[in-house]
Amino acid sequence: MNPEGRGKITSEIMSGLLILVIFAAPFSIAISQSAMALAILFRIVQFLMGKQLSLTGLEVPLFLWLGWILVTLPAATDPMESLHHLKRWWLIPAIWLFSEAAGEMLLRRFAMPALAIGLAGVAVYGALQSFGMLEIAENFQRMRKLPLTTNPMTAGAIMMMGSLTLLSFLMRPKRDWRTALTALAFVLSFWVLILIQCRSCWMGFLGGVFVLFLLRRPKLAALLPMVLFLALVFAPSQYRERFTSAFRPGKEYRSNWQRVYMWKTGWRILQDHPVIGIGDRDLRAFYERYTPEEDRAKVIVYGHLHSNLVMFAVLWGVPGLALGFMFLLSIPMLQWKRWRALKAIGGRGPPQAEPWILAGISVWASFMIAGMFEWYFGDAEVILLLWTITGLSLGIIKDHHAPSND
C-alpha cells in the first residue's frame, strides 16, 4: 500500500477513536477513557514512526504549570498520594489529539452528531428518572435532584457544556442534515440541565450563553437579562426558589455557608503552606485539622474545597495558582486568535470552524464560572469533555478561498 493510502487509514482510525471518545463522554467514563487511552497509544506509535506532533500554543503555560507541580512533589505532605494523583493529567493530551484531527473528514462530519446522540441519550435517561420510571438514590430524591448516569454536579456540568456546544451549532447560518438532530439534543439536554437543579451549572450556562451571543449575536445579548427575568417570573416556584437561593447568605441557606466555610478553611491552610501548598491529595484530614472544635459539628467534611481556584492554591501554593490560572487563561486567548483569524478570511475557514471556536470559548466561560463553586478540575468526566471541546476549537485554521460544502 502506498504511503498516502496508509496515511488515510491511520487518520480514519484516529478519527474513529476520537468520535467514540466524544460520543461516550456524556455517559460512560469507562468507554470514553478507554478510547482515549487507545488514541494516545496510537498517536505514540505514529510519532515513533516519524509523524511529528502539532502544537497548539498551550505548550509553554502547561509545561510551566506541570513543571512546578513536579518540582514541588517531593515536598508535598504526602508525596506518594501526590504521585498517585498525577493520573489526573493523562487526559490532557485530548486537546492536542482533537486539535490535530479537527480537519479530518470523518471527525469533521461526525463529531457533532456523536456528541448530540450521546447527550440526547443521557437526557432521555434523566427524563425517565424525573418521571419516576428509573430508580434514584434516596439522598438525591430528598434533594429533588437528578443524578443521571453519575451524580447531579457532574451531570450538570456535562449538560451545561454539551448544551452550549449544541447551541453554538444551532446559531450558525448554515443548515444541513445534522441540524434537526442538534436541535432535538439541545432541547433535551437543556431541559434536563434545569431538572438537575445544579446551581453552579445554571450560572455557568448563563455565562456561556451570554458570551456566545456577545460574539455571534451582540445585539441580542443585551436582551438576555430580560429573558432571564421573565423565565424566573413564570418558572415553577421550586426552580425559582432554587435559583435565587444561590444569592442568599449562608445563614439562610446551609450549602452556601458550607462553601464559604470551605474557602475560609482553604485560606487557613494556604497561610501555613503559601509557596508549595500541601500537594495533590484528599483533604479530609487537613479539613478536620483546620476546623476549630466549636465548628466541627456544623461542617460536612469533604475531600476537596468546592472551588477550582481555591484548590489550586491549597494543593500547589500561590505559584501553582498563578501558573494554573495562566494556563487556563491561555485557552480563550488562543481561541480568540482563531476567531479573529477566521473573521479575517471572511469565515472561509475549515468547515464547522466557527461553531467549534465559539463553543470552545463559551464552554470555557461556563467551566470557569461553575468551577468557582465546584472542584470540576478534579472531575474526570467533566475535564475530558472540556479538553475535547477545547481541542476541536483550537484546530488549525488554514486559508480557504471558498467555503466547503461539508
On whether residue 404 sits in a domain, the answer given is no
Burial class, 194, CB count within 10 angstroms (exposed 0-12 / middle 13-18 / buried 19+): buried
On whether residue 401 sits in a domain, the answer given is no
- What are the pLDDT digits (tens) for 126-161? 999 999 899 888 888 887 788 998 999 999 999 999
Answer whether 261's CB lies under 8 Å from 62's CB: no
On whether residue 402 sits in a domain, the answer given is no
Q: CA-to-CA distance for 126 and 134, rounded, in angstroms?
A: 9
On whether residue 378 sits in a domain, the answer given is yes
Name, in order, each residue with C-beta under 8 angstroms of 92's C-beta and a sequence gap of 6 or more.
62, 387
On whether residue 399 sits in a domain, the answer given is no
pLDDT value of position 405: 46
The closest alpha carbon to 243, from 251, 386, 234, belongs to 234
On whether residue 304 sits in a domain, the answer given is yes
Sign of CA dihedral 323, 325, 326, 327: positive
One-letter amino acid at 197 equals: Q
On whether residue 212 sits in a domain, the answer given is yes
pLDDT value of position 309: 96
Q: How many domains does the chain have?
A: 1
Would the pTM of this model clear 0.75, i.e. be above it?
yes
pLDDT value of position 404: 46
The closest alpha carbon to 397, from 354, 362, 360, belongs to 354
Residues of the chain with pLDDT under 50: 1, 398-405
Q: CA-to-CA distance for 195 and 120, rounded, in angstroms?
A: 14
Q: CA-to-CA distance for 375 and 396, rounded, in angstroms?
A: 31
CA angle 180, 181, 185 (to 5 degrees): 120
Segments forming the whole domain that contains residue 331: 3-393
On whether residue 405 sits in a domain, the answer given is no
The closest alpha carbon to 404, from 171, 104, 56, belongs to 104
DSSP state of 299: P
pLDDT value of position 172: 87
pLDDT value of position 101: 93
pLDDT value of position 399: 38
